[in-house]
Chains A and B, each alone.
Chain A
Amino acid sequence: DAKTTQPTSMDCAEGRAANLPCNHSTISGNEYVYWYRQIHSQGPQYIIHGLKNNETNEMASLIITEDRKSSTLILPHATLRDTAVYYCIEVRASYDKVIFGPGTSLSVIP
């Protein structure tokens, strides 16, 4: 079973920042936090990952709490194309199988 918990759904106004929380209270010291998203009827797409430090790339920012028990994915300026299901996952290694939870269904509203 997935070890992370996320809100079932969220809405965000277009152009505003979307903040998606994730709880991973049992994460191990050697496990990374990964975020993927799945747009309807497509394969999941990698967004970002982190271990301890906050991370930023061209798609999003990842804020990880100091105790590593939770994190927040930030889409700084959400667009309609960001409407998708977002999955927060703990991953130990590159060849580790990825177990998906239900994720958060984000709807970006015009």
Chain B
Amino acid sequence: GAVVSQHPSWVICKSGTSVKIECRSLDFQATTMFWYRQFPKQSLMLMATSNEGSKATYEQGVEKDKFLINHASLTLSTLTVTSAHPEDSSFYICSAPTGDLSYEQYFGPGTRLTVT
């Protein structure tokens, strides 16, 4: 079946630094990918829609200058958390629709970000 990978699986960084998280579709092309954030004991919150070859679409309340999204190819989207602060510590998950008739979306395994 379709697989979505994320790298790194976990990362620890210091306040003020930037962190890049990669999301890859391994065996299918994804013109659209989605980025979510999940705090402990809460549900997934959609942050933005990543579109290959164009600007990302951000959900209300998500700072686009802080969470930079680049969808440079049909298999790779990146999320960069700029000037990270401890409150950005969270579980970041990406997903991609396969585009076939099943309407399924495949989710990555997630990236645990801890900002110290």
Contact with B along A18-57 (1 / 0, CB 8 A): 0000000000000010101010011111100100000000
Q: How far is the CB of A105 from chain B (nearest CB, A)?
A: 10
Does B109 contact A42, Cβ atoms closer than 8 Å? yes
List chain A residues, Cβ under 8 A from B112.
Answer: 41
List chain A residues, Cβ under 8 A from B97.
Answer: 94-95
Q: How large is the interface on B (under 10, 10 to 19, 20 to 34, 35 or more residues)?
A: 20 to 34
**Given known contacts A43-B108, A94-B98, A49 and B103 CB-to-CB distance under 8 angstroms:** yes
| A interface SS class | loop
Does A98 contact B110, Cβ atoms closer than 8 Å? no
Q: Report the separation of the CA atoms of residues A100 and B103 in the bound assembly, to the nearest whole angstrom.
A: 16
Question: A99 at the A/B interface (Cβ < 8 Å)?
Answer: yes
Q: Report the separation of the CA atoms of residues A92 and B45 in the bound assembly, to the nearest whole angstrom.
A: 18
- Chain A's closest residue to B107 (CB) is A43
Does A103 contact B43, Cβ atoms closer than 8 Å? yes
Task: Give which listed residue, B4, B45, B49, B100, contacts A94 with CB less than 8 A.
Answer: B100
| B interface SS class | strand
Question: B46 at the A/B interface (Cβ < 8 Å)?
Answer: yes
Contact with A along B78-116 (1 / 0, CB 8 A): 000000000000010101011110111111111010000
**Given known contacts A42-B109, A43-B93, A44-B93, A98 and B34 CB-to-CB distance under 8 angstroms:** yes
Does B32 contact A95, Cβ atoms closer than 8 Å? yes
Q: How large is the interface on A (under 10, 10 to 19, 20 to 34, 35 or more residues)?
A: 20 to 34
From A42, A93, A103, residue with most partner B Cβ within 10 Å: A42
Q: How far is the CB of B40 from chain A (nearest CB, A)?
A: 10
Q: In B17-63, which residues have CB < 8 Å from any A CB?
A: 32, 34, 36, 42-46, 49
16 A-B pairs besides A46-B105, A95-B32 with CB distance below 8 A are A36-B107, A42-B109, A43-B4, A43-B95, A43-B108, A43-B109, A44-B107, A45-B107, A46-B104, A46-B106, A49-B104, A87-B43, A91-B103, A94-B102, A98-B46, A102-B42
